[in-house]
Amino acid sequence: MAGELRKLVADEIQARSGILRLDPAWVARDWLPPGRRLGLPAEEYDLGERGYVCERWLASTTKADNVVGPDDEGISSIRTTGGARINLAEAVAACGDLILGSDYSTTHAGLGRLAKIFDYAVRIPLHIHPPLEFARRAGRNSKDEAYYFPPGVDMGPHPESFLGVHPSLHRDRLWGELVDAVREWNDDRVLRHSPAYVQVPEEGFFIPSGVLHAPGTALTIELQEDSDSMAMFQALNAGAIISKRLLTKDVSEADLAEHGETAPLHWIDWDANIDPSFYDNHRLVPLPLRDEPAASEVWIFYGSPKFCGKRLTLEPGARYRSRENGVFSLFIWRGVGTIGGVDVIGESHDRDELLVVHDRAVDELEYVNTGTEPLVVLKMFGPDLCPDAPSLPRRRF
């Protein structure tokens, strides 16, 4: 069976000249209503007991951690030239050398990152992701993440995010109030401990594991570590109490036995949360990479060797050539064109997502805008593939 899969993937790589076409991976959540900005027909957002489609995962090999849902929820599919679909996670596991490259596949188990679009009608509850030491104890991964707020999209009713903790708060006092909040599990008072920041189109934030955050309602393109682990601290959201399972679902049995339902409070990185220069140290703005006549490329995700991403914009008729260090995925946000000879159409779910395998990525790839509007393409990379990506500032108040 593995041999058959390897041959199928190898044949597809050859037929597609190393540029694989991917189908969307839709993810439902049962704890928040959808923003309905993902381009689906209205009736397709409601999935019954699974909840609503609130996210689209991009070039994903990660399974969504939902109680109800299919075994491959969140995992992308390769669409073959013959119309068949290949599970991307299975393809990477069977053909790591062909997709990731021989050298990279010996040091990295897979793509190592998760890209997604999340689309909620209300703010996501205040929550946290486990730092690596806590995540590993539960058989999970840490979840550093970064956001990009694309322009030209309705920002929703609450386009502001609560991030970190007010620097003036005393840790001992805050600890006691957080303990009460998670034990009682009946309101949203934890939000009062966190400052809110406006979500600005074309900007974003970098949020490491261990930092409290409640993302606002702007449509968000997110790049993160390969993980769906978290702990919710806010019980009441959008007028309803969410399941307390979301507080402890990713806590190890040992930590749960020692600390009970307050175990996720030990994930908090206090220095990072109370940083007086939090905004300066976590805000992402586009940083120029290349600027050519009718074409420009900027960094939009940066600040970590774990993942990074770029935005390429081509004016009508423009051509642009570039090569990368290894495997990467592409999401066509707007416009019409070709990439390495493959036709792409933004906002068309069967033509807006590609995966470029290593051997093709390191060769020069041509991007062409064949339409009458700008062609906007996002490139997303996993661990250790962009050593030239910018660092985040480290300012102190």
Domain 285-381, architecture per CATH: Sandwich (2.60)
Has residue 198 got a pLDDT over 70? yes
**pLDDT score for 20:** 98
pLDDT bin (cut points 50, 70, 90) of residue 394 is confident
Has residue 396 got a pLDDT over 70? no
Domain ranges of the chain: 25-75+111-283, 285-381
**pLDDT score for 207:** 98
Share of the chain above pLDDT 90, in %: 94
More confident residue, 168 or 344: 344
Mean pLDDT over 301-325 rounds to 97
Mean pLDDT over 291-310 rounds to 97
This prediction's pTM: 0.96
Has residue 15 got a pLDDT over 70? yes
Domain 25-75+111-283, architecture per CATH: Sandwich (2.60)
**Are domains 25-75+111-283 and 285-381 of this chain identical in fold?**
yes
Mapping DSSP onto H, E and C, the string for the chain reads: CHHHHHHHHHHHHHHCCCEEEEECEEEEECCCCECCCCCCCHHHCECHHHCEEEEEEECCCCCCCCCCCCCCCCCCEEECCCCCEEEHHHHHHHCHHHHHCHHHHHHCCCCCEEEEEECECCCCCCEECCCHHHHHHCCCCCCCEEEECCCCCCCCCCCEEEECCCCCCCHHHHHHHHHHHHHHCCCCHHHHHCCEEECCCCCEEEECCCCCEECCCCCEEEEEECCCCCEECCCEECCEECCCHHHHCCCCHHHHHHHHHHHHHHHCCHHHHCCCCHHHHHEECCEEEEEECCEEEEEEECCCCCCEEEEEEECCCCEEEECCCCCEEEEEEECEEEECCEEEECCCCCCCEEEECHHHHCCCEEEEECCCCCEEEEEEECCCCCCCCCCCCCCCC
